[in-house]
Structure 1
Amino acid sequence: MPTGSQGSTSRWIHVRRPSSNPSTTVAYSGGADSALVLAAAVRALGPECVLAVTPVSESLADGELSRARRLADALGVTHLIPRNDELTRPGYRARPLLLL
């Protein structure tokens, strides 16, 4: 189970998966990079073996969640959408923005 930097799992949804457990979990934002990783995982393993997780917070760009849902549905993967309150964590806002 993924944990935050404080060792807490309270922000994650605990899921009891069916007997055909997904073997791969993709941290899936809905952006191009994670969409490519998700599609590659589905192509390599099949949709029944892939779990997509899109944490939702204020830092998720507008429109990303709806795109993420559409692609996850089209690929036939289980898609979890837990709430992530990273803005409440001390130091999160203080991190400098890296511009490439």
Structure 2
Amino acid sequence: MSLKNKTIKGFLWNALGKISEVGSEFVIGIILARLLSPREFGLVGMIMVFIALSEVLINSGLKQALIRKTACSQKDYSTVFFFNIAIGIFCYGI
């Protein structure tokens, strides 16, 4: 398989994943709006903002850097793992 075909296939899978993610979030939002009171729905909205900001910290690009690096050592894997654990604990503590 050529690089062009791999790139197109990867792009299509990525687009499909993103479309399904956004679509499912949209449907879940509609369902929650019907099931919850306005006060509860507002609380869920505030929590979702916090979760989105936490995801930005957790997905700080270290995974992509690890994938891009040609020869990863056990120390590299360990560093990324423990950094993600520390950020997760920090976000949980807030």
Answer whether TM exceeds 0.5 for this pair: no
TM-score, normalised to structure 2, is 0.30
Bigger fraction of residues in strand: 1
Query: What TM-score results when the alignment is normalised by the length of structure 1?
Result: 0.29
